[in-house]
Amino acid sequence: MATLQKNYRNIFVIGASAGGLEAIISMVKALPDDLPAAIFIVQHMPPYAQSNLGTILQHHTNLEVKRGEDGEVVRSGVIYMASADRHLIVEDNRVVVSKGPRENRFRPAVDTLFRSASVCYRERVVGIVLSGVLNDGTSGMWTIKRYGGTAIVQDPEEAIFPDMPSGVMQYTEVDHVLRADEIGKLMGSICRERIVPTSGGAGLTDEKLLQIEIGIGKGDNGLMMGLLEHGGPSPLTCPECHGALTQFEEGHLVRYRCHTGHAHTGDSLLNSLRDNLEKSMWELMRGMEEARLLLERMADKIQEGLGDELAQQYRERALRFQRQAVDVQRMIITSDPSYSGTQLDATTKPAGE
C-alpha cells in the first residue's frame, strides 16, 4: 500500500460543476505518473446519474482512478471520485461516503469535502476549484486557508462557467490562478515541497461549529450536536425543508444552515428561493385556469336549464380568472433575471383580446 508522507502538500481536493469535465481532463493529463499524493474530486451531478468520469480519466493517466468507498484507507497515487447523491469526506486518513443533507443544493458538495480535508490534513491540503455555476467551494476554501492550506482556482477567463473560481477569489486569498493544464503541472511539483507543520486554525472563530458541520455531512444530527448554539438567528427559512435558518459568517461570506442540516451560501439560497417562488406562481396560475375552466362548464350547464343571466355571471367570473392567470404568467416571465423585454406575445393575452 502506497502511504502518504507527512509534512508534504499531498492532499488535493478538487471541486467542479458545469463545464468542469474539460478542465478536469486537462488537469489530469498534465499529472506525472508517479504523483506522491491523493486526489479527491467532487463533480456536481444529478442524484441518479451514471457518471463515466472515472473511466474517461483513466484513459488519460496511469494513476489509479476509482470511486471512493466508505471506510477505505487513503492511499498515495489514487484519484478518488465522488459518487452520485453521496458526499465524499475524509476523516482519520479514511474515506467517508455519506448521504448527509445537501449543501448549496448539491450532494456531493464541494464545501463538504473541503472542510473535512482541512481538519484532517490541515496545511497539507491543496484546494482546487474549477469551472462551475454559483459558489460551492467558496466556504470550504476559506476553511482550507485558515488551516494553512493552499488555494488554487482555474483562471475565470478559461473556465466555461467562471462563477465558482470567481466566488473563491472574491472571498478568499488565492495562491494561484492558472489554466487547467497548468494546475496539473503545479500539482506535480508542489506535492514534493516539504512544509513546516503549524497548529492550524488561524482565523477560525468557532472550531466546534466546524466539527458539527463535518458531522452533519456524514449524516449526524445537527440539532442533537448543538448546531443552534452557534451562529445567529435569521428571518429566513430553508427552501428544502422550511426549517428556520441559522446565519454564519466566514470573513465577508455569509451563509446559512437549518437544524436538519441543509446548508446554503447567500447565492445558492437566493436561487433556491427563486425556484420555489416560480413553482408557487405556476401553481397559482394553474389554480386560476382550473377555476376558469370549471366556471365555463358550469355556465354551459346553467344556460341549458336556468337561462342566460346566471350563465353570463359565471362567464364573467371565468374571464376575470383568465386575466389574472395571464398576469401571473407575465410576472413569471418578467421576474427571470435573463428577461429581455421581448418575450411576451399573444399567447399571454386572454382569449378574445
Instruction: Note whether 43 and 132 are same-domain residues.
Output: yes
d(CA 80, CA 16): 14
Helix (H) or strand (E) holding 169: helix 163-171
What is the residue-level pLDDT of the chain in tens, covering all 353 positions?
578 888 999 999 999 999 999 999 999 999 999 999 999 999 999 888 788 888 999 999 999 999 999 999 999 999 999 999 999 999 989 999 999 999 999 999 999 999 999 999 999 999 999 999 989 999 999 999 999 999 999 999 999 999 999 999 999 999 999 999 999 999 999 999 898 776 655 555 578 889 999 999 999 998 899 888 888 989 999 999 999 999 998 888 999 999 999 999 998 999 898 889 999 999 999 999 999 999 999 988 887 666 688 888 899 999 999 999 999 999 988 887 776 665 555 455 555 55
Residue 353 belongs to a domain: no
Residue 81 belongs to a domain: yes
Under a CB-based contact definition with an 8 Å cutoff, are residues 19 and 47 in contact?
no
Instruction: Note whether 184 and 43 are same-domain residues.
Output: yes
Residue 209 belongs to a domain: no
Q: Total domain count for the chain? A: 3
Instruction: Note whether 86 and 222 are same-domain residues.
Output: no
Residue 98 belongs to a domain: yes
Instruction: Note whether 158 and 295 are same-domain residues.
Output: no
Predicted TM-score (pTM) of the model is 0.86
Residue 207 belongs to a domain: no
Instruction: Note whether 239 and 178 are same-domain residues.
Output: no
Q: Which residues are known catalytic residues?
A: 17, 44, 136
Under a CB-based contact definition with an 8 Å cutoff, are residues 179 and 154 in contact?
yes
Instruction: Note whether 46 and 134 are same-domain residues.
Output: yes
Specify the 3-state DSSP secondary structure of 176: strand
> Three cell numbers at 259?
437544524
Instruction: Note whether 304 and 251 are same-domain residues.
Output: no
Instruction: Note whether 100 and 158 are same-domain residues.
Output: yes
Instruction: Note whether 158 and 286 are same-domain residues.
Output: no
What is the length of the chain? 353
Residue 196 belongs to a domain: no
Angle, nearest 10°, between helix axes 110-121 and 207-218?
120
According to the model, what pLDDT value does residue 204 have?
A: 57
> What are the start-end ranges of the E strands in 121-280?
125-129, 150-154, 176-178, 232-237, 244-250, 253-258, 263-265
Domain limit, last residue, from 171, 190, 209: 190
The CATH number of the domain holding residue 98 is 3.40.50.180
Residue 287 belongs to a domain: yes
Residue 211 belongs to a domain: no
- Which range marks the domain in which residue 50 is found? 11-190
Instruction: Note whether 17 and 147 are same-domain residues.
Output: yes
Phi, psi of 282, deg, nearest 5: -65, -35
Give me the long-range contacts of 77-80 (CB less than 8 A, separation at least 24).
77/2, 77/34, 77/35, 77/36, 77/37, 77/38, 78/2, 78/38, 78/39, 79/28, 79/39, 79/40, 79/41, 79/54, 80/38, 80/39, 80/40, 80/41
Instruction: Note whether 223 and 103 are same-domain residues.
Output: no
